[in-house]
Amino acid sequence: MTDTRLNSLGFPKPPGETRVVVAMSGGVDSSVVAAELAAEGYDVVGVTLQLYDHGAALAKKGACCAGADIHDARRVAEAMRFPHYVLDYENVFRETVIDEFADSYLAGATPVPCIRCNERVKFKDLLETARDLDADCMATGHYIQRKSGPRGPELHAGADPRRDQSYFLFSTTPEQLEYLRFPLGHLSSKDETRALAAKHGLVVADKPDSQDICFVPDGNYAAVIEKLRPGAGEPGEIVHLDGRVLARHEGVIHYTIGQRRGLGIGGLSEPLYVVRLDPEARQVVVGPKEALSTRIVPVREINWLGDAPLHSRPEWPLSVKVRSTRPPREAILRPTGPDSGEVELLSQEEGVSPGQACVFYETGGSRIFGGGWIWRG
């Protein structure tokens, strides 16, 4: 009689006969995933991507996929006795992530390159590499959950709302979801992850979390854009919504929508916020806080993860996040094209910015129904 019980990754065979590629950034999360699976007896292969200049990376502590992090990933693999490979994805990363980041920032948007990296590098090229290695699946250290549903795998928010990374993974396709595994998504706190790292004696057990975008040291976007696009910081005017010219600025790239501090405007009775960026006119447009509020959010490049087709209904009641740090808000999604739509927020939201993602959630639940990119209507 054949044993058809599923192993912990959902396959009807022993762990030793199940090959899993683990995407290892060198941080504690992916290291724990690899160590736990290796300890369970899986045929683990660790893969780390070198995404940008290795020499520069060595000087940048605490950023994903930097030189020191590659070294840390290798040490974990050596300690747990599984093979580890470093793949040079520098050109791919620049072409598919960094260049778009620079161009969209210059166009006045506020891009989220981590989403593009997951979409275009990790869950595309790296996933194909995992298939080439005859792996049954690919596992990552993301705090998100993959659950079995009546129509196939579903994407759900991580159990710990403080660590949930669903906003950054909305573009995961159903086909990718079939192949991916997220072993940490059910954990209730990061302390549990660090305890597992300590249990395995991993050198990264106490390693600090990465806070910045990996290629943006200290969060200084403008300095990176200046380096990538010399001459991008052209000066211009800071203009009030009513048309008054209030001051000069040293480049639109130094401002983001919703910004209040550091505008260089003094002597005014009301606090002012950046409400719009006009790169063509080289203008930073400012106004009162209420000018930031909106209820209509146009979205495009929608990745839909619902059970029924997006266009099977004229509107979908959902909850949405318009920034990674904001809680979900109730909304209605109305499809307007093959992969575009209009989101109507039931209550106004401030600082909705082109270039950010609008992620769709089940109202009152944890399931993710995909999302799209916010743009100017």
- In degrees and rounded to multiples of 5, residue 219 shows phi and psi of 70, 15
Helix (H) or strand (E) holding 73: helix 67-80
CA distance 371 to 171: 7
CA distance 71 to 304: 38
Count of alpha carbons within 13 Å of 245, Cβ hemisphere only?
Answer: 8
Count of alpha carbons within 13 Å of 337, Cβ hemisphere only?
Answer: 9
CA distance 86 to 377: 42
**Quick check: is 117 catalytic?**
yes
Helix (H) or strand (E) holding 198: helix 190-199
Going through 51-175 in order, the beta strands assigned E by DSSP cover 84-88, 137-139, 144-149, 152-157
Output the DSSP codes for 230-241.
TT----EEEEET
Question: Residue 108 forms beta bridges with which residues?
Answer: none
Helix (H) or strand (E) holding 29: helix 28-39
Given a contact cutoff of 8 angstroms between Cβ atoms, the answer to whether 126 and 23 are in contact is yes
CA distance 261 to 272: 9
| Annotated catalytic residue within 64, 117, 137, 358 | 117
Residues 6+ apart with CB under 8 A from 364: 319
| Annotated catalytic residue within 64, 65, 214, 358 | 214
Helix (H) or strand (E) holding 330: strand 329-335
Q: 3-class SS at 143? A: coil
Inter-CA distances, 105 with 111, 139, 162, 257, 371, Å: 6, 32, 28, 11, 21
Token pair for 282: 């080289």
Question: Residue 320 forms beta bridges with which residues?
Answer: 329, 360
Token pair for 294: 């909106």
Catalytic residues: 117, 214
